[in-house]
Chain A
């Protein structure tokens, strides 16, 4: 990371800047992996916000931390540990179904314990703190070709799953009582969605890390849902924002000696703040009722 800003300077010619960045394989991988993760997070995140599962998503990333550090301690690729732990955690939460609401305390307790477990695994692996740092805060600039392919496969699987579940899941998320009475398998969808969420979380950890998962999974859809009440449009907007935050964050980080995660989270937060401010002042300017479409 630290060497990147020394290589080429920012020239105000965006095209040549981008081309300069693309000379480096690690930057190509970063842009590609960032794009996959952002698209998946944008789509899945829409339902995370809709189903009020943001804390559960956050908890899953911490469960994943224990899995990843456990894998590192065993000398296995952390992504496998991440997947195994997040998916099992997700299935546990999915089985709870509707009862998950109001279980913040229980989730928080499990979350704290898994972080402790992660710390134990880290100490067992007598390696460097960089591994922990990468898991906690992301390491998008260190993504290998193999990681990229794994990310791509996981991304395609989650997007196909989302495309298949889309309409019943939307129905169940908005109005689960009616959906259930109409014959939508609400419980099954709840479990399936949590598994999809687990896979997305595992992917996103690579880019923004365990602690910053909200920036991609929650902030973009939260912004989108404030701006439009059309589901398809909100999902498109959420994906666009996630993609924009990731790519712009990457672009800036090439020239400045600060972590990519910082830029991504700052862009996300800044946009959220800006949008809320805009929604607040808009009716005062336009003199119309606050009616988003």
Chain B
């Protein structure tokens, strides 16, 4: 993989903004219909980091992604993504939204879905054959990298959840984004893929020095690959290494209630004592 000049450099622009930071939130808050989602967010994410975004349903994990995508404004504070104010259609961001799977009769092949990542924004017809061929080559390469070649010609709707997830991941990655936002990519996956997909994402992100923010409700499959964790609960938001954040002290402070983090013999983490507080009626 050719490493480009944009990757991993930390330098200062004339405005004094640190462009080495992929994501920077300062005293940020989001309010939706007079409800405070989260407040006092101070988060700096560096290029190439793999971050898990964890928290109970409705805590505002997806909202954080929407802020970075320029789809949701802050009610206070500042946010910068890749050295600029977030805006819709930032081609340096790859995004996989939270989803139910594709309808079983979606009449499109896996490779067409991946091709959207390159051609979905192009108006008119491909008049130049070489550029068309170059794009097809890139699709092939990306399909190989996510190990999806075997079923790339089958209709998307007929594929399993894990297979679909690899294809949408390929679509998000094909434009060589500097920031990858994945919203609950592990939901509805079997156990094998819950382990395999994070490892695949980590491998590909490392190869391109892509920053990853991955929203999940279960941190355990991600523990082997993440650098840091953003934990959102009860309007509070913290970032830190998993062993710093997912502790009885930090989470009790975050939830403003006594909770306990226990570790089983395999090193898996469980947060207990939350049943009443976290039983939120709606998805976020």
Query: Nearest A residue to B181 by beta-carbon distance?
Result: A181
- The residue among B69, B108, B123, B171 with the most chain A CB atoms within 10 A of its own CB is B108
A-binding residues in B (CB < 8 A): 69, 71, 88-91, 95-97, 99, 105-109, 112-113, 116, 119-125, 153-156, 158, 168, 171
Q: Could you tell me if B88 and A183 are in contact, using CB atoms closer than 8 angstroms?
A: yes
Q: Could you tell me if A183 and B91 are in contact, using CB atoms closer than 8 angstroms?
A: yes
Name the one of A177, A184, A230, A293 contacting B120, with C-beta atoms under 8 angstroms: A184
- Given A167-B122, A181-B97, do A228 and B107 touch, yes or no (CB 8 Å)? yes
- Given A164-B123, A167-B120, A229-B109, do A178 and B89 touch, yes or no (CB 8 Å)? no
- Given A182-B89, A230-B112, do A168 and B120 touch, yes or no (CB 8 Å)? yes
Q: Could you tell me if A181 and B116 are in contact, using CB atoms closer than 8 angstroms?
A: no
A231 interface contact, C-beta 8 A: yes
Beta-carbon contacts of A274-293 to B below 8 Å, as 1s and 0s? 00000000000000000111
User: What would be 11 A-B contacts, judged by CB atoms less than 8 Å apart?
Assistant: A167-B120, A174-B106, A178-B95, A178-B96, A178-B97, A180-B88, A181-B88, A225-B105, A228-B107, A229-B107, A229-B108
- Given A181-B71, A182-B89, A230-B112, do A291 and B158 touch, yes or no (CB 8 Å)? yes
B-binding residues in A (CB < 8 A): 50, 163-168, 170-171, 174-175, 177-184, 225-226, 228-231, 234, 291-293
Query: Nearest A residue to B71 by beta-carbon distance?
Result: A181
Q: Could you tell me if B123 and A165 are in contact, using CB atoms closer than 8 angstroms?
A: yes
- Given A230-B112, A291-B158, do A177 and B107 touch, yes or no (CB 8 Å)? no
Bound CA–CA A167/B121 (angstroms):
7
Q: Could you tell me if B116 and A175 are in contact, using CB atoms closer than 8 angstroms?
A: yes
Name the one of B90, B109, B116, B153 contacting A171, with C-beta atoms under 8 angstroms: B116
- The residue among A168, A174, A184, A230 with the most chain B CB atoms within 10 A of its own CB is A174
Question: For A171, what are the chain B residues with a Cβ–Cβ distance below 8 Å?
Answer: 116, 119-121
